């Protein structure tokens, strides 16, 4: 069977599995729809959390970022894994003991205010909708290449699949679907990595292969990649920073605290029976996540080596990269390049008319490039395709390539489903049921949740067709919004008995407000192209201490904390019963039944 047919078969079988599980585990009550009945085993919940957590940004985009930026791209690894430790240690057990369906419910009760709950809903919607853009971008990338359809068609198909298992299954269906999706995505990520590591270094473990010598050589893989990078005018792969040290630090911090404030991941800890199980499922999730995250740096380095070797076949043995015959002829490019060119995610422009492909840093001042007649970089490779194209570049079997397609789609769809559930519960439960229609029946609330989810899918699809950045970049913005609004309020709600509703509300509004201002100045108002307003700030990008907009969430969090404590000190104190409740929640024993009631 050919590659296209095999891809349709494997992707089709996985989709059938997801929908079948959703039908089998469909939700029949609001408790099952929002919290899977509160009865999921910790190991299964850990696996589902891993799938919920490892989105298109993790599977498709993260290794591409590390391949592009080298050491500087590793901040995504540090930020996302470190953030999960924060979530597991500081938030998950206490929120589980609190025993509510959703994050806005926690805010409404802890801060004794429907206003706090409403502000939390608005912050949640901003972060979740931004996050879901990245997932839809990933779905479009995977579908456009492997199913031979346009990026737009791929997004529409993805919307339909998510609709089937998320709307009907709720949290219960999503949980068991995500267990299957984790198995698919982790196999799809590690199997090609094992093959490629074995081929390049002779070591079947990619984590060890990254630090090993190249097969048949005394030169290590990373040392060779450093040399090749410098020869092509780039910075050293293993030492290159992403901007300044301050930007790297703030970016990492933003990803960490944004991770700990993501509502769709926090909701997973309401699906287990006890606080002890919440801790256990967090531990298992870290194990399952670590399998992919420790493999990603190896996948990135090996993908870059394979790409550069494809363009410069003699680069591993001959350092004269500007020799007339050192680069491949465009007419003789491999089939994988032809396939990716059709998607528009890989583009070639013959700037010097020699019919050969020059891939290098054309901003380099090294005179050898001009002397060789090179007139600029000729190959543009979208960062999001590196993982998906890697098995094709390495000439792996067709079934491996098809498996990677299924894995990329599983990663994007599993996170999209979790985000849609968070959005749905915020609208149907926290706004409609709690604020506008308190007498709504359980059946009516369940239907409202499904309608809200269906509408959210439509909005997510539209945003996916018009993304503000590549997948991981868009996701980083979402983390910044969560970091600047939700995380500080959660931390103060659990660990400060004196934080009152006025302080929390003012802090959330100030934190997300300053972050949105900085992001929209660079990316456009609500990411609409042509509406950016950097001109108001002198027209210079990253105008605040050189910090990227994707990293600004940590600054927004500091503003949140500062404003919250300042306002708290100027307003009336917390009621005594609320202070006592906070004291009880902080005792890490016992758990209440998960309930939607206040």
Q: What CATH number is attached to the domain comprising 284?
A: 1.20.1730.10
- From CA 344, how far away is CA 584, in angstroms rounded? 56
Q: What element of type H or E holds 289?
A: helix 275-293
Could you tell me which residue, 522 or 566, shows the higher pLDDT?
A: 566
Burial status of residue 529 (CB atoms within 10 A of its CB: 0-12, 13-18, 19 or more):
exposed
Domain enclosing residue 378, as ranges: 315-388
Same domain, 67 and 19: yes
The two structure tokens encoding residue 405: 């397609």
Question: Is the pLDDT assigned to residue 18 strictly greater than 50?
Answer: yes
What one-character DSSP code corresponds to residue 216?
T
pLDDT of the residue at 101: 61
My answer on whether 141 and 167 are in the same domain is yes
In terms of domains, do 214 and 340 share one? no
Res. 107: pLDDT tops 70? yes
At 140 the pLDDT is 74
Do both 348 and 287 map to the same domain?
no
What is the mean predicted confidence (pLDDT) over 124-152? 75
- Residue 233 has phi, psi (to 5 degrees) of 90, 5
pLDDT band at 468 (very low <50, low <70, confident <90, very high): low
| Two tokens, residue 504 | 């929390």
| Mean pLDDT of the region 170-177 | 70
Give the whole-angstrom CA distance, residue 264 versus residue 315. Answer: 46
Closest CA to 194 of 1, 4, 391: 391
Looking at the fold, whether 192 and 171 belong to one and the same domain comes out as yes
Structural tokens at position 475: 């996701």
Could you give the CA distance from residue 268 to residue 266 in angstroms, rounded to a whole number? 5
Residue 428 resides in a domain: yes
The total of structural domains in the chain comes to: 2
Using the 3D structure, point to which of 483, 518, 537 is the last residue of a domain: 483
- Provide the mean pLDDT of the chain: 82
Same domain assignment for residues 414 and 383? no
Query: So what's the pLDDT on residue 565?
Result: 96
Last residue of a domain, one of 388, 408, 440: 388
Distance CA 265, CA 269 (A): 8
For residue 355, the SS3 value is: coil
181 versus 34: which is more confidently predicted?
A: 181
Residue 555's pLDDT is 94
pLDDT of residue 384: 77
Measured CA to CA, the distance from residue 18 to residue 160 in angstroms comes to 13
More confident residue, 33 or 287: 287
**74-83, 182-191, 446-455, 464-473: range with lowest mean pLDDT:** 464-473
Stretch 144-156: mean pLDDT: 75
Domain boundary among the residues 329, 363, 388 is at: 388
Question: 3-state SS of 555-577?
Answer: HHHHHHHHHHHHHHHCCCCCCHH
Confidence category of residue 169, pLDDT binned at 50, 70, 90:
low
Decide if pLDDT at 28 tops 80: no
The predicted pLDDT at position 58 comes to: 77
The alpha carbon torsion through 494, 496, 502, 505 (nearest 10 deg) reads -40
**Residue range 430-448: mean pLDDT, rounded:** 75
Q: Is position 123 within any domain? A: yes
298 lies in the same domain as 358: no
Would 584 be classed as within a structural domain? no
DSSP secondary structure, 292-326, as one string: HHTTHHHHHHHHHHHHHHHHSTTTTT---TTSTTS
529: left (phi over 0), alpha (psi -120 to 50) or beta: beta
Q: Report yes or no on 172 lying in a domain.
A: yes
Residue 193 to residue 427: CA distance in whole angstroms? 41
**Rounded-to-integer distance, Cα 263 and Cα 283, Å:** 18
Residue environment code for 350-361, b if the CB has 16+ CB neighbours within 10 A, otherwise e: eeeebebbbbbe
Q: How many other β-carbons are positioned within 10 Å of the β-carbon of residue 199?
A: 15
Q: Is 262 helix (H, G, I), strand (E, B) or coil?
A: coil
Whether 138 contacts 444, CB under 8 Å:
no
Q: Do 130 and 104 belong together in one domain? A: yes
Residue among 491, 562, 484 nearest 255 (CA) = 484
pLDDT of residue 205: 92
Q: Are residues 399 and 384 in the same domain?
A: no
Task: Tell whether 56 and 160 lie within a shared domain.
Answer: yes
Both tokens of 124, joined, read 């949640």
pLDDT surpassing 60 at residue 397: yes
Query: Are the C-beta atoms of residues 554 and 254 closer than 8 Å to each other?
Result: yes
Pair 251, 327 in one domain: no
The tokens for 540 are 């210079």
Residue 53 has pLDDT above 90, yes or no: no
In terms of pTM, does the model score above 0.75? yes
pLDDT of 189 higher than 80: yes
Cα 123 from Cα 482, distance rounded (Å): 7
pLDDT for the residue numbered 551: 87
Residue written as token pair 């019919």: 355
Domain assignment of residue 550, yes or no: no
pLDDT at 479 over 60: yes
Any domain includes 524: no
User: For residues 303 and 270, which has the higher predicted lDDT (pLDDT)?
Assistant: 303
Rounded to an integer, the average pLDDT of 159-184 is: 73
Residue at 438 is within a domain: yes
Q: How many CB atoms lie within 10 A of CB 219?
A: 11
Percentage of the chain modeled with pLDDT above 70? 91
Three-state secondary structure call for residue 476: helix
Judge if 384 and 396 occupy the same domain: no
pLDDT at residue number 139? 74
What's the DSSP call for residue 437? -
The whole-number pLDDT of residue 560 equals: 95
Q: Is the pLDDT of residue 27 over 60?
A: no
How much is the pLDDT for 597? 46
Kind plus residue range of the DSSP H or E element containing 226: helix 221-231
Judge whether 329 lies within some domain.
yes
């Amino acid at each position: 069977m050919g590659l296209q047919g095999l891809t349709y078969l494997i992707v089709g079988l996985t989709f059938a599995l997801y929908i079948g599980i959703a039908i089998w585990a469909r939700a029949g009550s609001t408790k099952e729809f929002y919290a899977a009945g509160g009865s999921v085993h910790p190991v299964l919940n850990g696996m589902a959390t891993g799938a919920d957590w490892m989105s298109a940004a993790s599977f498709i985009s993260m290794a591409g970022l590390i391949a592009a930026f080298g050491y500087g791209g590793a901040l995504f690894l540090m930020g996302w894994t470190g953030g999960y430790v924060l979530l597991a240690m500081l938030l998950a057990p206490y929120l589980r003991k609190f025993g509510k369906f959703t994050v806005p419910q926690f805010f409404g009760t802890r801060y004794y205010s429907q206003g706090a709950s409403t502000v939390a809903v608005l912050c949640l919607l901003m972060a979740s909708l931004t996050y879901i853009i990245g997932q839809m971008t990933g779905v479009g990338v995977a579908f456009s290449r492997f199913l031979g359809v346009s990026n737009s068609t791929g997004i529409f198909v993805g919307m339909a699949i998510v609709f089937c298992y998320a709307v009907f299954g709720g949290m219960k269906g999503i949980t068991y679907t995500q267990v299957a999706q984790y198995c698919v995505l982790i196999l799809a990520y590690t199997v090609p990595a094992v093959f490629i590591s074995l081929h390049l270094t002779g070591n079947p473990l990619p984590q060890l292969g990254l630090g090993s010598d190249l097969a048949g050589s005394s030169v290590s893989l990373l040392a060779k990649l450093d040399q090749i990078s410098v020869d092509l005018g780039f910075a050293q792969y293993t030492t290159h920073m992403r901007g300044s040290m301050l930007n790297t630090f703030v970016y990492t911090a933003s990803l960490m605290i944004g991770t700990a404030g993501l509502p769709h991941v926090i909701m997973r800890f309401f699906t287990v029976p006890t606080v002890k199980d919440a801790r256990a499922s967090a531990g298992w999730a870290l194990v399952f996540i670590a399998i992919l995250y420790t493999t990603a740096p190896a996948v990135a380095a090996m993908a870059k080596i394979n790409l550069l070797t494809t363009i410069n076949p003699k680069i591993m043995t001959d350092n004269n990269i500007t020799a007339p015959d050192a680069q491949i002829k465009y007419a003789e490019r491999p089939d994988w390049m032809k396939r990716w060119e059709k998607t528009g995610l890989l583009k070639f422009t013959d700037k010097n008319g020699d019919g050969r492909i020059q891939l290098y840093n054309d901003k380099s001042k090294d005179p050898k490039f001009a002397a060789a007649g090179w007139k600029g970089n000729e190959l543009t490779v979208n960062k999001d395709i590196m993982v998906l194209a890697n098995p094709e570049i390495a000439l792996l079997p067709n079934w491996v390539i098809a498996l990677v397609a299924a894995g990329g789609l599983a990663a994007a769809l599993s996170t999209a489903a979790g985000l849609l559930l968070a959005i749905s519960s915020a609208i149907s439960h926290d706004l409609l049921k709690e604020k506008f229609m308190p007498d709504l029946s359980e059946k009516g609330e369940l239907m409202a949740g499904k309608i809200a989810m269906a509408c959210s899918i439509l909005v997510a699809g539209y945003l996916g067709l018009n993304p503000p950045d590549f997948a991981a970049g868009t996701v980083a913005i979402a983390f910044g919004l969560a970091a600047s609004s939700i995380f500080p309020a959660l931390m103060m709600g659990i660990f400060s008995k004196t934080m009152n509703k006025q302080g929390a509300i003012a802090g959330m509004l100030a934190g997300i407000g300053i972050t949105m201002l900085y992001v929209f100045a660079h990316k456009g108002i609500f990411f609409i192209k042509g509406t950016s307003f950097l001109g108001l700030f002198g027209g210079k990008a990253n105008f605040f201490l050189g910090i990227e907009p994707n990293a600004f969430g940590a600054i927004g969090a500091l503003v949140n904390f500062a404003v919250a404590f300042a306002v708290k000190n100027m307003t009336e104190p917390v009621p005594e019963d609320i202070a006592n409740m906070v004291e009880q929640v902080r005792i890490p024993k016992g758990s209440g039944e998960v309930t939607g009631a206040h």
